[in-house]
Amino acid sequence: MSDDIYKEIILDHYRNPRNKGKLTDPDISAQDNNPVCGDRISIDITLKDNVVSDIKFDGEGCAISQSSASILTDMLMDKTVDELSKFTKDELLEELGTPSLGPARIKCALLSLKVLKIGTYQYLGTELPEDPEN
C-alpha cells in the first residue's frame, strides 16, 4: 500500500474511532500516558470464557495515538487472553503502515499496545516484560 493509503486509514480511525468509550466492570483495565507529547490512553476489556467479548479505549492525544488505539481494539476482538499477551508491536505497526511513521511517532503508535500489555499482565498476575510493547 502507498503511504497515502496508510495516512487515510489513520485519519479515518482518528475522525471515526472504533470502540471508543468505557466499559462498566471490565475484567482488564489499564491506562498510561506519554508525557513527552501528552497522549493518554485507557483500555477496558470484558472477557467471556477467556476471550475478548468487548473492548473499549478512551483517551486524548495526537491522531497517531488515537488511531492506533482504535485499530488495535478492532484487531483484538475475539482474541484469547493468551493471544493478547503475545500480540507484538510488529503486528500493530504493520496494520498502521510503518512507512508513514517516523521514529519520533513510534512511541505514539505503541502507547495503546503498552496499555494492553500492562492490563493483560496485571490480569494474569505476572511480571511485565522489560519491553512491554513486545
Is 70 exceeded by the pLDDT of residue 133?
no
Alpha carbon distance 31, 49 (integer Å)? 24
pLDDT, residue 91, reads 94
pLDDT, residue 1, reads 47
Domains of the chain with CATH codes: 3-124 (3.90.1010.10)
pLDDT, residue 126, reads 86
Alpha carbon distance 8, 14 (integer Å)? 10
β-strand partners of 80: 51
pLDDT digits (tens, 9 = 90+) for 68-106: 999 999 999 999 999 999 999 999 998 887 656 777 788
- The DSSP letter of residue 127 is P
- Report which secondary-structure segment, H or E, holds 55: strand 51-60
pTM over 0.85: yes
Alpha carbon distance 71, 19 (integer Å)? 9
Cβ-Cβ contacts under 8 Å for 22 (sequence gap 6 or more): 42, 44, 56, 58
